[in-house]
Amino acid sequence: MSSTAVLPEAATPTVPAVGSAPPAPAPAKRPYLHHVDLVRTMTFALVIFVHTLTSTTAEFTSMGTNGTALLFHSTRNIFFALTGFVLMYQYLDRPDFRATSFWRRRIKLVIVPYLVWSVLYWTIEGMWASGRLGDVPGSLDELFDRIKWGTAAYHLYFLFVMLQVYLLFPLIRRLVARTHGRHWWLLGASAALQITVFGLICYWTPPTGMAELWSHLYATVVPYQLLIILGALAADHRERVGQWLRGRGELLGWLLLGTGLLAVGAYVHRVLFSGAPINDPGSPFELTLLPFIVVAAISVYATGLHWATFHRERTPIMAKVVAYASNRSFPVFLVHVMVLFFLLRPVTDDGQKWLVAHIPQPLATFTVYVSTLAISLAVVEVLRRLPGSLYLTGRPRLPFRPTI
């Protein structure tokens, strides 16, 4: 080939005109945060565990079950903190950020799976299981009512709140940017609002006109705003946060124990001395639980950061497992309640769930938990390889070959 060959037209460098502004540099790709994978994996594993626990034990009559589940309610808050962290890490310093582009890219990954799985859960659990499958065409108003509050299945409110977080993120991003240098004030205001909201949920009876909204407040972003702000601020100050957490594992352990005892002790007191129901729907928003929620979120993040910093390179198998589980955590979350439904649907003559009736506790809960994880992962592997995977799982389609 001649040394004088010219470049193809498409590859010819463009020289900007004299006096014109240079093109904006493409935003640099940020380093991958491996500790986020472990935080996500731990959080979803604990969410599935608490759903298994309450499905295989006496949820409505056992103080032990509800006292344990009370602490595990923190998992929803941890994931909202993680969401705030990840979004802020990805988008805070991007000069090309546009709200419309963000919404167009992000919301479809949640809203389409939310609608698809709402219809599936309502049809199977709500209509087929109760012998009402023939009523589906005439009950679409019921489906719409469930979709508007995220109640087609008991875990889908989570996606409903996620949609609200995505809608509000451009505002949160601007708030964090505008208050730079005054973030302690922002965190303090968010904490004051959180305490007020928790107090109102627990101790205020709303007027009749607000009853429906108030009973579904758990499906709004309001009770979780502190953890979202906390995660967003942690992303902006991640280096300082990482330095502060280093060497404070023992302190966090004691704080976790102390705040956990406070939350459970207050719960036991309410049941024994205040006449509160054992299964109190307001318990995830008790003021006495709030310190544990915050400490648990910080502790899980610290655990992930410690592993990624000091142990990830020395545990390559675990690193692969964590990356695999993190990538599939969202679709597993979508699927696992359906798996639990079919695993526990066979009942004995006296109405007990077959697996629970034939396997002694706590082995029954452990067996159902492991089975739910394994079956959910198998179902997700199939769904991820089907056309339309993006709409079923919120993740792109995978090729038909092993990934781990």
Residue pLDDT, tens place only, 301-347 = 999 999 999 999 999 999 999 999 999 999 999 999 999 999 998 77
| Residue 44 resides in a domain | yes
| Residue 12 resides in a domain | no
Q: What is the pLDDT of residue 139?
A: 83
| Residue 248 resides in a domain | yes
Provide the β-strand partners of residue 353: 347
Per the structure, the count of domains in the chain is 1
pLDDT at 2 over 50: no
* Candidate from 97-101, 124-128, 210-214, 274-278 with smallest mean pLDDT: 274-278
pTM: 0.88
| Residue 367 resides in a domain | yes
Q: What is the mean pLDDT of the chain?
A: 87
Structural domain harbouring 60 = 32-393
User: Region 272-294: what's the mean pLDDT?
Assistant: 85
| Residue 400 resides in a domain | no
Phi and psi, residue 347, nearest 5°: -120, 155
User: Region 158-176: what's the mean pLDDT?
Assistant: 95
- Give 338-375 pLDDT, tens digit per residue: 999 999 987 776 767 888 888 888 999 999 999 999 99
- Residue with the bigger pLDDT between 8 and 221: it is 221
Side chain identity at residue 354, one-letter code: W
Q: What is the pLDDT of residue 274?
A: 80
